[in-house]
């Protein structure tokens, strides 16, 4: 999830991470505009590298969306977000090494294909060039779709001026596209279930698909299409964006879910159930006002501000603000679903999905939840929102969640890892 809140310049000093990401995007715009006009790029034919990137026609029911061709070609590899981001300015739809092999067949050891879901203003390559190659090496069938592209005039936000920013369309559109990808993966592999890994918005896309997109059968969990959901810095209860989105001062118990169990020296929290889960505080609206029962803001001015933010930052960004109707709907009636195993990963240096521990979930009936802070047992890792998915520690935590025998708890790496600019 990126910087839709950057339009709130008054609050910019509150988040160093957000300021950093503004600089990344500004650099990208400079590079891209220097190579050619945005207008000409947006008119590229659908059959070229930038199809599905420069048109908003890839939303619900679009004939342009091909679930098996959301990426074209494979990148040379990257070990940092900034490097991968810059590569995709030239080739917006490249896939990470090891991903999107539609001839892959699951093994008995790893029967569930793994689908990696990028966040807001991100793409398959810059989000997953650190994790996808490792999972492929581990023997998984790995898929990294590009989802949720919209142009500026369809509230894709300023980021849509770049050819490589996805995850800006209304989240429901991305969920619909993910559903098509999952069906294609199940047909291709013959698998009965998939495991979903999502960063930031990607985490709530996974949860929304499971709850509303046909991914789970609450009456017969054995028929679920989703086995595991693993999230990194997900906006599960909305974000205050480092203080840019105001909230009530009375909210002081965020992250209580993190205290539900004692973490090991590997930073792996104990499993929770509905009997031990503590309450996550009530969300407030993006304007800092308590939402009405229908989820709307209490004043027309708040609605006007929300509309403006959508034009600047994209519809998906606005949906992830704390107290939004989307977040309310996502968590209403329970945060988990029977038969799904959840692993929720956070970094305390997250300056975008904030407060960082608001990502944690409460386990409901029939589900298991592990809430993990990367720094528990590893203070050396100072990953932020935009580097956590390249951290060796988070890579191992994901691998452990997918297959505990592959990476036992005692072998999860603890290495120094910095923020988006490499500072440690």
Reported as a single tens digit per residue, the pLDDT across 394-417 is 999 999 999 999 999 999 999 999
- Integer-rounded Cα radius of gyration of the chain: 20
Cβ atoms within 10 Å of 288's Cβ, excluding its own: 16
| pLDDT at res. 73 | 97
Per the model's pLDDT, the better-predicted residue between 7 and 106 turns out to be 106
Confidence of residue 65 (pLDDT cuts 50, 70, 90): confident
Say what percent of the chain tops pLDDT 70: 71
Mean pLDDT of 270-283: 39
Stretch 38-57: mean pLDDT, rounded? 36
| SS3 of 281-334 | CCCCCCCCCCCCCCCCCCCHHHHHHHHHHHHHHCHHHHHCECCCHHHHHHHCCC
The angle subtended at Cα 3 by Cα 203 and Cα 123, nearest 5°, is 50
Cα 341 to Cα 30, 195, 221, 361: the distances in Å are 43, 9, 12, 12
Strands 368-373 and 142-143: unpaired
Q: How confident is the model at residue 312 (pLDDT cuts 50, 70, 90)?
A: confident
Rounded-to-integer distance, Cα 242 and Cα 183, Å:
37
pLDDT confidence tier of residue 307, bands split at 50, 70 and 90:
confident
Q: Is the pLDDT of residue 292 over 60?
A: no
pLDDT of 258 reads: 39
Global pTM exceeds 0.85 = no
Residue 373 in 3-state DSSP?
strand
Count of other CB atoms within 10 angstroms of residue 246 = 17
CB 363 within 8 A of CB 369: yes
Q: Pick the residue with more confidence: 22 or 365?
A: 365
pLDDT in tens, 129-186: 999 999 999 999 999 999 999 999 888 999 899 999 999 999 999 999 999 999 999 9
pLDDT, tens only, 227-266: 999 999 999 999 998 777 765 333 333 333 433 333 333 4
pLDDT of residue 265: 37
In tens, the pLDDT along 103-125 reads 999 999 999 999 999 999 999 99
pLDDT higher than threshold 80 for residue 384: yes
Average pLDDT of every residue of the chain? 81
Residue 318 sits at φ, ψ, to 5 deg, of: -65, -35
> What is the phi/psi pair of residue 129, to 5°?
-70, -15
Torsion over CA: 270, 276, 281, 286 (sign)? positive
What are the structure tokens assigned to 378, written together? 């590893």
pLDDT confidence bin for 24, thresholds 50/70/90: low
Handedness of CA 417, 198, 130, 60 (dihedral sign): negative
> Which range is most confident: 10-24, 87-101, 274-288?
87-101
Mention every residue, 6+ apart, whose C-beta is less than 8 A from residue 28. Answer: 85, 86, 89, 162, 164
Query: Residues 42-64: what's their mean pLDDT?
Result: 39
pLDDT of residue 55: 37
* Amino acid 402: pLDDT: 99
pLDDT class of 71 with cuts at 50, 70, 90: very high
Structural domains of the chain sorted by starting position, each given as residue range(s) with its CATH number in brackets? 81-242+303-411 (3.40.50.1820)
Q: Could you give the percent of the chain with pLDDT greater than 90?
A: 64
pLDDT digits (tens, 9 = 90+) for 324-382: 999 999 999 999 999 999 999 999 999 999 999 999 999 999 999 999 999 999 999 99
Return all residues near 25 (Cβ < 8 A) that are at least 6 apart.
2, 3, 121, 158, 159, 162
Question: Is pLDDT above 50 for 41?
Answer: no
pLDDT at position 105 is 98
């Amino acid at each position: 999830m990126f910087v839709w809140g950057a339009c709130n310049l008054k609050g910019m000093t509150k988040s160093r991470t957000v300021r950093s990401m503004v600089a990344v995007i500004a650099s990208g715009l400079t590079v891209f505009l220097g190579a050619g006009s945005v207008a000409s790029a947006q008119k590229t034919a659908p059959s070229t590298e930038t199809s599905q990137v420069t048109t908003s026609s890839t939303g619900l029911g679009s004939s342009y969306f091909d679930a098996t061709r959301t990426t074209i070609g494979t990148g040379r590899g990257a070990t940092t977000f900034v490097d991968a981001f810059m590569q995709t300015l030239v080739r917006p739809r490249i896939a990470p090494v090891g991903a999107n092999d539609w001839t892959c067949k699951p093994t008995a050891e790893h029967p569930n294909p793994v689908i990696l879901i990028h966040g807001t203003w991100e793409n398959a390559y810059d989000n997953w060039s650190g994790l996808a190659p490792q999972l492929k090496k581990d023997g998984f069938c790995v898929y990294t779709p590009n989802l949720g592209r919209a142009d500026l005039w369809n509230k894709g936000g300023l980021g849509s001026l770049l050819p490589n920013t996805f995850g800006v369309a209304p989240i429901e559109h991305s969920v619909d596209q993910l559903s098509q990808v999952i069906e294609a993966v199940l047909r291709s592999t013959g698998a009965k279930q998939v495991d979903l890994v999502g960063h930031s918005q990607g985490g709530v896309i996974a949860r929304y698909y499971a709850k509303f997109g046909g991914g789970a059968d609450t009456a017969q969990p054995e028929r679920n299409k989703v086995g595991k959901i693993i999230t990194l810095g997900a906006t599960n209860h909305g974000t205050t964006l480092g203080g840019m989105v105001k909230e009530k001062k009375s909210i002081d118990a965020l992250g209580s879910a993190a205290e539900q169990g004692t973490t090991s020296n590997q930073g792996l929290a104990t499993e929770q159930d509905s009997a031990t889960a503590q309450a996550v505080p009530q969300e407030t609206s993006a304007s800092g006002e308590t939402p009405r029962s229908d989820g709307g803001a209490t004043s027309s001015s708040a609605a006007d501000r929300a509309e403006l933010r959508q034009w600047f930052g994209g519809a998906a960004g606005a949906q992830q603000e704390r107290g939004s109707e989307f977040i309310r709907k996502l968590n209403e009636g329970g945060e988990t679903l029977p038969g799904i195993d959840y692993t929720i990963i956070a970094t305390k240096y997250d300056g975008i999905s904030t407060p960082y521990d608001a990502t944690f979930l409460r386990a409901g009936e029939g589900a298991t939840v592990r809430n993990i802070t990367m720094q528990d047992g590893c203070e050396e890792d100072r990953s932020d929102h935009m580097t956590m998915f390249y951290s060796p520690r988070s890579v191992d935590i994901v691998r452990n969640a997918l297959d505990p025998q592959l990476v036992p708890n005692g072998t999860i790496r603890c290495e120094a890892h910095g923020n988006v600019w490499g500072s440690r």
